[in-house]
Amino acid sequence: MIKPTISVKNVPFPNQMASDTEKSSQEYGLAVARAIEGEWFKKTTGNSCRYYDQANDFHQLRLYARGEQSIQKYKNGMAVDGDLSYLNLDWAIVPIIPKFVDIVVNGMQDRMYAIKAESQDISSAEKKNLFQETVEKDMVAKDFLKQSKEQFGVDAFNVPEDELPADNEELSIYMQLKFKPSVEIAEEVAINTLFEVNEYEDSIKPRINYDITTIGIGAAKHSFLPGAGVQIDYVDPANLVYSYTEKNDFSDIYYVGEVKQIHYTELRKINPSITDEELQEIKKWGNAWYNDYTIIGQLQDDPFNSEMISVLYFNYKTDKKFVWKKKFLDNGGERVIKRDDSFNPPTDTEERFERVEAIKDVWYEGVLVLGSNMLISWDLSKNMVRPEAASQKAVCNYVISAPRMYKGRIESIVKRMIPFADQIQLTHLKLQQVLSRVVPDGVFIDADGVSEVDLGTGAAYTPQDALNLFFQTGSVVGRSYTGDGEFNQARVPIQQLNSSSGQNKMQALIGAYNYQLNMIRDVTGLNEARDASTPNPDALVGLQKLAALNSNIATKHILDSGLSITKRLATCLSLRIADILEYADFRDEFAMQIGKYNITILEDIKNLYLHSFGIFIELEPDAEERAQLEANIQMSLQQQQIDLEDAIDIRMVKNLKMANEILKIKRKKKQKALEDRQDMQSQIQMQTNMQSQQAAAEQKQQTAQIEAQSKIAIKEAEMQFAIQTLAAEVASKKELMQLEFDYNMQLKGIETENLTRREDKKEEAKDKRVDIQATAQSKLIDQRKNNLPPVNFESNEDNLSDFDLSSFEPR
């Protein structure tokens, strides 16, 4: 049987300006496949090629990352002329690199995230604007609506009053937190369901993160299989082939593929029309490839490699003319029918036709048996992912990211550590070598010093006796002079021998070990604050946290790379979901599969193809960021700037920036509420004071009024009393006056009577005086006439019998 000869040459890619018919031909596909094969599998000096060199490099990096690298290089460093017979060492690898790799990878897995879908179509934008306008109306009419609610008991708010934003800043936060259209929820559920069905979080994503950390590149593939739906597969970057690129996300590549080792019978699944003779021929090419590229055996552990063939699955990007025949109808309408690129409108007919064309990017898919001219398949990719925002652009099925790539060369964090890890391993072996040569401390016994020494026991003092005495008591007996009386130079018969035991060498090796370990920390940024080493007890907590934060920043590009793959996968899944729901025969079953957990969004899921979405990754804060946020929350709680309910709401927000913004808004609201409360309390206090003053004034007025009334009452009582007194006095006076009048009347009667009597007396006295005067006059006349002597009239009137006291009565 003649064995095929493998001949891989550098051949150019076929003409991109070829017609679509030519591009779809098997010859064109074979030319593309051979060009890719030439770039990656053409042997160079040293019987190597680009593909297997890269695969071998990745293989070595993975071995170092697992602590399973070859020990031959260390044996060569320790051997003398290749001889290891005098060494008895433990050649086990010191797993330094696996520790740092686990720290990075597990730290990435610990960072939780959420996939957010934001609808960007006109319908969703109108709903969002309508809801925002409703909120803004409530904001403008807040006072009026509040007054209406208080006065009439009618709640006309469209948004709860306590949730209503106060300004545009709060409105922006409110729209992000509160407004979530059902189509966005349905889209997020659909994407998360596809991730869950494909076990992305549990199986695929950890392997991608490990690859990015270990070999510096990660890859995944999304596809649509008619019988299985949307599928996500892990892609080993060691199997990848791709066009030259300098972009970390490989967005500008024009071909990409992967090499797989499969059993030759598996080709029937790709092309069922393959005959048995063709399969036998393919098997021959597979064996020839395996024998020509012997490195395959070093990279594969499959014992059935002789039955395996190397197959190249590749995608090739080119453009395609999409042509339509536009016919103008008699009624003024138009009708468009899809045609191939060879269509030309007929000119010899009365009907009016027009050629409409558009050039768009397309991807072709092919499968090549490496080393042969046997192209298993070459077809235009079905269900291509094409963003609506750029309908002429098609997205590749492979999602790749290499965060630290320059001029096509990929660099990883493990690659940085290898030189220092090798030195650590050699230092570890040297330490074993030094330890194997360590001897215990001993003693020196001078036999001359113990000779002729008498201990008084009668027995000879032997070196063994001296040694026993030394070890048991720490003392020893010797002689200063010999038996001849000469000075004994060996008077101290036992001296302890202290061996250095290689301490200086061991300290030097330990210092070298720590130096290499610190160099690994320096080149990777994984310092003691992050690699689980004992931190410096003298270091402040803030400095330790700052060191951990800096370490996280040093490896942030790895985290970002993994999230970039997840985001682009989610975007592609979003576009595939729309295509499935619009074109696939099992769209109802697919919608039921996605919406089985939430039947209320089932109808929205069925209508997802009517919407376009922007996909975003909302990364949850890490432990340090959460600690900072929690510190801010605790400080705000202690200062009573927020309430416990506000703190709970803030902790529920996964976006750190959003959480801080909400914290600021909550603080402003609480401050404003406190100010309003203080103002209200001031007003209430003022009203209370006014009411108190008014009450005091009223009380005072009432007191004054009461006092006045009391005084009036007293006055009235006094007046009444006075009136009564006066009345009594009047009555008394009346009685007295009456009595006086009566008395006076009586007195008057008496007086009148007395007067009458006196008058009568006077008249009588007058009459008497007249009589006396007449008598005296007569006597005088008689005296004169008779010239009689003087008459004593007093003697004649000394009669007391007629004396009356009434003449002495008061007048």
Q: Is residue 29 part of a domain?
A: no
Q: Is residue 424 part of a domain?
A: yes
User: Collapsing DSSP states into helix, strand and coil, what is residue 620?
Assistant: coil
**Per-residue confidence (pLDDT) for residue 63, from 0 to 100:** 92
Q: What are phi and psi of 221, to 5 degrees?
A: -135, 135
Q: Is residue 695 part of a domain?
A: yes
User: Rounded CA gap, 174 and 132, in Å?
Assistant: 10
**Per-residue confidence (pLDDT) for residue 254, from 0 to 100:** 92
**Per-residue confidence (pLDDT) for residue 474, from 0 to 100:** 76
User: Rounded CA gap, 779 and 788, in Å?
Assistant: 9
**Per-residue confidence (pLDDT) for residue 603, from 0 to 100:** 55
User: Rounded CA gap, 426 and 11, in Å?
Assistant: 46
User: Rounded CA gap, 603 and 385, in Å?
Assistant: 24
Number of neighbours of residue 78 by Cβ within 10 angstroms: 17
Do residue 531 and residue 666 come from a single domain? no
Helix axes 182-197, 587-595, angle to 10 degrees: 90
**Per-residue confidence (pLDDT) for residue 34, from 0 to 100:** 92
Angle at 388 between CA 184 and CA 362, to 5 degrees: 135
Do residue 526 and residue 666 come from a single domain? no
Q: Is residue 60 part of a domain?
A: no
Give the model confidence (pLDDT) of 117-167 as tens digits.
777 666 666 777 777 778 777 777 777 777 787 777 777 777 777 777 777
Give the model confidence (pLDDT) of 286-342 as tens digits.
777 777 666 665 566 554 456 778 889 999 999 888 777 777 776 767 777 777 767
Return the residue matching tokens 């007046």: 719
Residue type, 124: S
Q: Is residue 213 part of a domain?
A: no
**Segments in the chain below pLDDT 50:** 1, 303-304, 539-550, 597, 599, 602, 795-801, 803, 805, 808, 811
- Count of the separate structural domains present in the chain: 2
- DSSP codes, 512-565: HHHHHHHHHHHHH---TTTTTPPPPTTS-HHHHHHHHHHHHHHTHHHHHHHHHH
Q: Is residue 543 part of a domain?
A: yes
Q: Are 89 and 78 in contact (CB under 8 A)?
A: yes
Q: Is residue 493 part of a domain?
A: yes
Do residue 544 and residue 671 come from a single domain? no
Domain endpoint, select from 530, 554, 578? 554
For β-strands 229-235 and 240-242, DSSP reports them as unpaired
Domain endpoint, select from 532, 554, 576? 554
- Burial string for 718-739 (b: 16+ CB within 10 Å, else e) reads eeeeeeeeeeeeeeeeeeeeee
Range of the domain at 532: 416-554
> How far does Cα 476 stand from its chain's mean position?
76
Q: Which H or E run contains 151?
A: helix 142-152
Domain endpoint, select from 554, 581, 613? 554
* Token pair recorded at residue 274: 């393959």
Q: Is residue 437 part of a domain?
A: yes
- Return all residues near 692 (Cβ < 8 A) that are at least 6 apart: none
- DSSP codes, 410-443: E--HHHHHHHHHHHHHHHHHHHHHHHHT----EE
